[in-house]
Amino acid sequence: MTKAEQLEAVAILVPADFSDHAVARIDQTFNRIGIERADPALVTEEMRRAVRGIASFAGISAAMMDALPNLELIASFGVGYDSVDVGHAAAKDIMVTNTPDVLTEEVADTAIGLLINTVRDLPRAETWLRDGSWAKKGNYPLSRLTLRARRVGIFGMGRIGQAIARRLEAFGLPIAYHNRRRVEGLSYQYHDTLKGLAEAVDTLISVAPGGASTQKAVNAGILLALGANGVFVNIGRGSTVDEAALAAALADGTIAAAGLDVFADEPNVPKALLDLPNASLLPHVGSASEHTRRAMADLCVDNLVSWFSDRRPLTPVPETAHVKARP
């Protein structure tokens, strides 16, 4: 049997609403099995016997893994994988992969665009032109905020955080950061607490991953430390922010403005944020270009191909890097 024939026999479970490009490649290479959502209650006896891999946007729970006794690999689409129970996967020797690097520059571009939109109020200025206010009422009001003389702090100095920092250096802005630990080789000022970082800067960009350790890390105290001239941008995970505290801080002037691309309960955005004139809001479009999503889809499928042909992953997540392919 050729390698291609061997791959055609491998059953890959794909929950609905997956990348069309990834689905097309999986169909060409593997035996794709569709399912409405990643719910163990929907797993059939055929799936239990056959499924060896999952390709998914959605979270994969411990119960879903347990429902598939022959599962070897979860190919997660995206750099964040907090919705996958990686601890359970590691305990069961299930490999988990993600799609880092290929989206880094796109998300960093979006972060800078969102920061400028937030500070200079550009979406509202465009609306002023489009609705005829420029012709009827005159020039758009001067923006209260500017990037000039700002000090930027980055919460989460991983690949994307560093790409954002490189862009901000070109703006002539000083940069500091907070991580679980100092990053080797970086000259930016390091703060060992998020509060210390917020106190030292007036612009805080969150690129932190989700999970229990960062749940609502950006809270009322952090926003108070950022100050009345403060700008907060979140391009990481909505779960890292206390959204009620953020809405209150924007409403009462604790901070000046915020730009958000991610939310705790997507696509449901709190009305308290929607109603605020000093919040610039995007529908989670950080990596959402056709170019980048295609690259992410390819890496997702390439992990499946590499695992089931060469018995190795391309981009394993750290928690399952030790997992070996079954004989």
Order of strands, sheet of 31-35, starting from the edge strand that comes earlier in the sequence: 31-35, 11-15, 51-56, 73-76, 95-97
Please write down the HEC assignment for all residues of the chain. Answer: CCHHHHHHCCEEEEECCCCHHHHHHHHHHCEEEEECCCCHHHCCHHHHHHEEEEEECCCCCHHHHHCCCCCCEEEECCCCCCCCCHHHHHHCCCEEECCCCCCHHHHHHHHHHHHHHHHHCHHHHHHHHHCCHHHHHCCCCCCCCCCCCCCEEEECCCHHHHHHHHHHHHCCCCEEEECCCCCCCCCCEECCCHHHHHHHCCEEEECCCCCHHHCCCECHHHHHHHCCCCEEEECCCHHHECHHHHHHHHHHCCCCEEEECCCCECCECCHHHHCCCCEEECCCCCCCCHHHHHHHHHHHHHHHHHHHHHCCCCCECHHHCCCCCCC
From CA 158, how far away is CA 207, in angstroms rounded? 8
- Specify whether 237 is catalytic: yes
- Specify whether 45 is catalytic: no
Among the options 124, 284, 294, 319, which is catalytic?
284
Per the CB < 8 A criterion, the answer to whether 303 and 73 are in contact is yes
- Specify whether 284 is catalytic: yes
Among the options 266, 311, 312, 322, which is catalytic?
266
Nearest to 245 by CA among 235, 259, 255, 230: 255
Per the CB < 8 A criterion, the answer to whether 50 and 11 are in contact is yes
| End-to-end CA separation in angstroms for the chain | 17
Q: Which residues are catalytic?
A: 237, 266, 284
